[in-house]
Every structure is written in structure tokens, then in C-alpha cells.
Structure 1
Amino acid sequence: MQRRYCSCGAPVLVEYRHSGRAWTTIFRIGRLFFRSGRECCPRCGRALHIDELA
């Protein structure tokens, strides 16, 4: 897992999982888990994208 940060400063853990032939990005924010493309930062509400996290 990698620790990244939203632009508002909220910590986000990023995990890559291999399923079948593709890799899936999983974001963990506190106790919540989200698949890439369907998640928002709980602090600011901004949509999370791996390339935009610091």
C-alpha cells in the first residue's frame, strides 16, 4: 500500500490488486474501501484519481 494525500490534505491509502488479467486500484480512507472511479474524499468531497494524489 502507498500513502497518498488528497489536495485538501486528507490521507488516502492506495492498493493495487490483480484480478484475472487486469489491475484494480483500491483507495482506503479510514475504514472505507473504494474501487477507482467511484470514490470521493470524505473531507472535501473531491473525486479521487490516482494521478492527482500527492
Structure 2
Amino acid sequence: MQKAVSNIIFCLGLLMLGFGLNYALSTRLIGGVLIIVGLGLDPKIWNYFKRRNNGK
């Protein structure tokens, strides 16, 4: 479920970033934030950082 939500947010971010190239800077910023949030919600990336921090 978390992976699906992450993918949807990431795709929305890519779409907004793409449309933002033709429109305002704020649209690009929102798209960039959505991409970062989508990547942050991705369980694989989340687990990678958790493992990395636990190893230190």
C-alpha cells in the first residue's frame, strides 16, 4: 500500500514538474516537493536509510 501511494505521489510530481516547465515556477516547486515526498515514502528508500543509520 505504501509503495503504491509513493508511486502515485512520485508520478504526480513528475507530471507537475513537466507542466511546470511551461508554466510558473511555483508549479515546478510543488512538483519537486512531490517527487521528494514520493521518494521519501518509498519503503525501499526508507529501509535503506534506516539500515544505514543503524550501522553507524
Q: Could you say which TM-score interval applies, normalised by the shorter chain?
A: under 0.3
Higher-strand-fraction structure: 1
Q: If you compute each CA radius of gyration, which structure gives the higher value, 1 or 2?
A: 2
Higher-helix-fraction structure: 2
Higher RCO (CA-CA < 8 Å; seq separation 6+): 2
